[in-house]
Amino acid sequence: MKIVKLFTIPLLAVIYACSGAPVESTEDQSGSTIAQKQVLEAWDRMKNMVIGTTKKMPAEHFSFSPIEPLATYGNLVNHTAGANYLFAAAVNLERPEVSEIDTSDKDAVIQRLEESFDFIKNGISSLSDNDLNEEIEWFGSKMSRLQAILTMTDHLQREYGKNITYVRLKGIAPERSGGW
């Protein structure tokens, strides 16, 4: 029962955030509050899955594209890293300047991906539970910082789904999910 409750709160928050309705607080129907610690734990789980899966793809397949005009695997993963930086405002950070990398170079892509996840993790770590309720400007809309973070993780999950598809097409099993 504890596992069900642990994931019911974040799941309800994601569904609500994706509905486009404004988030008034981080409290769910039971009175439980989503805390910064839970956001950080969820981010770490996603980080481990995405980076673990990316590391499993052999270097020679970073130039692989299933069909035209789809991105190569390296470009797909680099897009994920770039989006992490793009969404810096969600965790109260300034978007850094990042240089171009060779997306066919597995080591360079993984380094960029790891750095981008650590960048967001540092931002989440600096937030208080109250900061999650702060209303921010998010791509032309006003929403709570938590809702912006959930939107960011929603994008990350979609990109991870594409990542899984590419590695499966090469006969590779993705990283196991953790914490469920």
- Per the domain annotation, does 177 fall within a domain? no
Closest by CA position to 57, among listed 69, 70, 73, 44: 73
Instruction: Quote the pTM value.
Output: 0.81
- Per the domain annotation, does 109 fall within a domain? yes
How far is the C-alpha of 159 from the C-alpha of 155, rounded, in Å?
6
Say if residue 162 is exposed, middle or buried (CB neighbours under 10 Å; 0-12, 13-18, 19+). Answer: middle
Residue with tokens 């989503």: 34
Query: Could you count the other beta carbons within 10 Å of the beta carbon of residue 39?
Result: 24
- Per the domain annotation, does 111 fall within a domain? yes
Structural domains counted in the chain: 1
- Per the domain annotation, does 118 fall within a domain? yes
Task: Provide the CATH number for the domain around residue 116.
Answer: 1.20.120.450
pLDDT in tens, the chain (180 residues): 444 334 334 433 443 444 444 444 455 444 457 899 999 999 999 999 999 999 999 999 999 999 999 999 999 999 999 999 999 989 999 999 999 999 999 999 999 999 999 999 999 999 999 999 999 998 999 999 999 999 999 999 999 999 999 999 999 999 988 665
- Per the domain annotation, does 144 fall within a domain? yes
How far is the C-alpha of 110 from the C-alpha of 144, rounded, in Å?
31
